[in-house]
Structures are given as C-alpha cells and as structure tokens.
Amino acid sequence: MSADKSYVHALRFQKLNWLYDPIVRLTTRERTVKARITNALSGQTGRLLDLACGSGTLAILIKQDYPHLTVQGLDGDLDMLGRAERKAADADIDISFKQGLADALPYADSSFDVVVSSLFFHHLSRADKHSVFREIKRVLIPSGVLLLADWGRPQNILMRLMFFAVRLLDGIGNTRDNIQGKLPTLISEAGFTRVKEIGDIATPLGTISVIRAHA
C-alpha cells in the first residue's frame, strides 16, 4: 500500500472504474450503508476526511446533509478523483479532493475531527490495516471520531458463500480479518477507544459492518 508497492484499484483495474458506481449500488445496498454513516454524524462539527473516497459519493452525501462541515476526500486513484470532482461540481458541492495514500496521510497531526471510510479496509493486508489505523488516529484530534463501513462477519452460511466472490477479487488473505469480524480488534490495537459496531447490513455479497471509534 505504500508508495513503493503496486497500487490496487477498487476493481483491480483502472479501466473498470466506470463500472464502480453501478456495481456498488447493485451489490452493497449503498444507500442504506451510507445513510448509516451520515446519520451517525449528527451533531458533529469541524473538519471531516473521507479516506479512500473513490468516486466521491459518500463525501457528497455528507456535505449535502451537513453543509457546515469542511469535507475533504483522499484517494490514490487520480481517475477516481476526477470522477469525484465532476460529481461534486454537478451537485454544486464544495469539497476538496486530494491524491494520497492511506498509510502516509498528507496531513499534519490532529488535522480532522472526523474520518470516515467505506469499503476500503478489505483491500489491505493486516500489516497495512494496522498502519492505516495508526495514521487515522494521528490525523484525528484527541477524542475525534472514526466511522467506517466494511465487510464484516457473515450473518449466515449463505452470506459466507456469497462473500467468496469478494474474497476472490480482493484477496483471501486481505479479507480474512473481515470475515472473522476482527476489524474492531484491530482498531482498538491502534489506540482507539469506545470501539463499537453500530450496524450490520445484509447485502447480496455478504454483511457490511458499520463501526464507530474514538481517538
């Protein structure tokens, strides 16, 4: 995940980026998942980072619901960032998008009050998950909030079987912590407190867990 490694695009190949939004809509109950995140932001103020923002859907929804927040989006894929910028412009939404990698965030300590992320961590090895959670804690203010949605422990055998398609695409090793429900533990190990799963959402490809934690 660091700069000297090959960057892995959301659908493995950048030329498939145009398919990302429709695939996410069809397979992840995107509206429900992102609503769970945005609803959990009620009462938040200050600066918010959408980490691995992709095409910008979540960042735009947050800014629409909470115009008082200063929203920034970060992603490693310039093509995706271009798509995000066009979507924000079409919606007349003021969001700053920036290229960067999650294990070396281009921000000073305590730069954000909130960090959100959706369907990113299952792309990472355990070592990279540890690195990224530590970086998130670094850029959050003390008591800042982390909100993330990602694949979690399947709710039943059928969902476990369906999730195998995701594991084949994104790596058996990378997704092992997700399917074993270990993301909350990894977040705690990075120094976060009050780590809590605030939602489990059944989708056609498995269970998505929404997790909240405090720096």
Amino acid found at 141? I
> Are 122 and 150 in contact, with CB atoms under 8 Å apart?
yes
Q: pLDDT digit string (tens) for 92-147?
A: 999 999 999 999 999 999 999 999 999 999 989 999 999 999 999 999 999 999 99
Task: Specify the long-range contacts of residues 23-31, CB closer than 8 Å, at least 24 apart.
Answer: 24/57, 24/119, 26/204, 27/203, 27/204, 27/205, 28/119, 28/203, 28/205, 28/208, 29/201, 29/202, 29/203, 29/208, 30/57
In the chain, domain spans:
14-214
Task: Output the six-digit token pair for 39.
Answer: 């609803």
Cβ neighbours for 111, distance < 8 A, ≥ 6 positions apart: 47, 49, 139
Torsion of CA 78, 58, 124, 27, to 10 degrees: -110
Read off the pTM.
Answer: 0.88
What pLDDT is stored for residue 9 in this prediction?
57
pLDDT for the residue numbered 165: 75
pLDDT for 4: 39
Q: Is 158 exposed, middle or buried (0-12, 13-18, 19+ CB in 10 A)?
A: exposed
Q: Count other C-beta atoms under 10 Å from residue 161's C-beta.
A: 11
pLDDT at 58: 96
Give residue for tokens 């490809």. Answer: 205
Tokens of 129: 């998950």
Read off the tokens for 211.
């997790």
In terms of Cα–Cα distance, which of 61, 54, 64 is closest to 20?
A: 54
Yes or no: domain 14-214 corresponds to CATH 3.30.379.10:
no
Instruction: Tell me what pLDDT residue 3 has.
Output: 39
Closest by CA to 201, choosing from 188, 210, 192, is 210
Low-confidence ranges of the chain (pLDDT < 50): 1-5
